[in-house]
Amino acid sequence: MPHEQTGSVRPARTPIAVFASGAGTNLQSILDIEQQDPAWPALTALVVSDKPQCEAVRRAKSAHVSVFARDPKDYADKSAYERAVLAELQKRDVEWIVLAGYMRIVSPVLLNAYRGRILNIHPSLLPKFPGRHAVRDALQAGAVQTGVTVHLVDEGVDTGPILAQRAVAVQPGITEEALLERLHEVEHELYPKVIREVLISGSPHSETIVRSGKHE
């Protein structure tokens, strides 16, 4: 008789693409949980980067994840670059895009193809301090509290619907580097949580999404 297998079968995972431009620490947190948690609902099918030499690309290759890393300047325009990205996403049946330190504004080419299915994580309590210098801006404003926001991407800069937030106290005299490190710690916990809940629920508007996390 054939050997009968026991135990639960791991459910199929939803293909996602992670976009990153820098160190890739949020990417690494996703790759780690993907390896360690059999119930994790996502499969990183592709890592996209506009910085071919960045650390995020090295992390992806070390994890044997497919990479599309191209300098947008090598294309005729932004639309041409994103059409090339879109072709790679479609080739791998990617269902969700996860922006993780991707320092480019997504154009309608990708936005229209993945409307309501692009997540971003931002190091502030939006709508406060949008843009690429959020941590510096919070310190310069004398904020006593900042935090992390996960939101859907729309046409604006960090203006999409907020899915989850977690506050972090700004200690007196803290440096930008130290505050950023603390925010990264929160990001690495919060982002996988939201990704999991969005993919399991199948909708970013589900009541399962945490709209506000614990405050520190």
**Residues near 212 by beta carbon (within 8 Å), at least 6 away in sequence:** 164, 165, 166
Whether residue 3 lies in the annotated active site:
no
Tokens of 95: 């269902």
The crossing angle, in degrees rounded to 10, of helices 176-201 and 25-36 is 40
Which amino acid would we find at residue 109?
A: V
Residue of 122, 133, 151, 188 marked active site: 122
- Phi, psi for residue 79 in degrees, rounded to 5: -65, -40
CA 86/CA 67 separation, integer angstroms = 13
Q: Provide DSSP, 127-145.
A: TSS-STTHHHHHHHTT-SE
Active site residues: 122
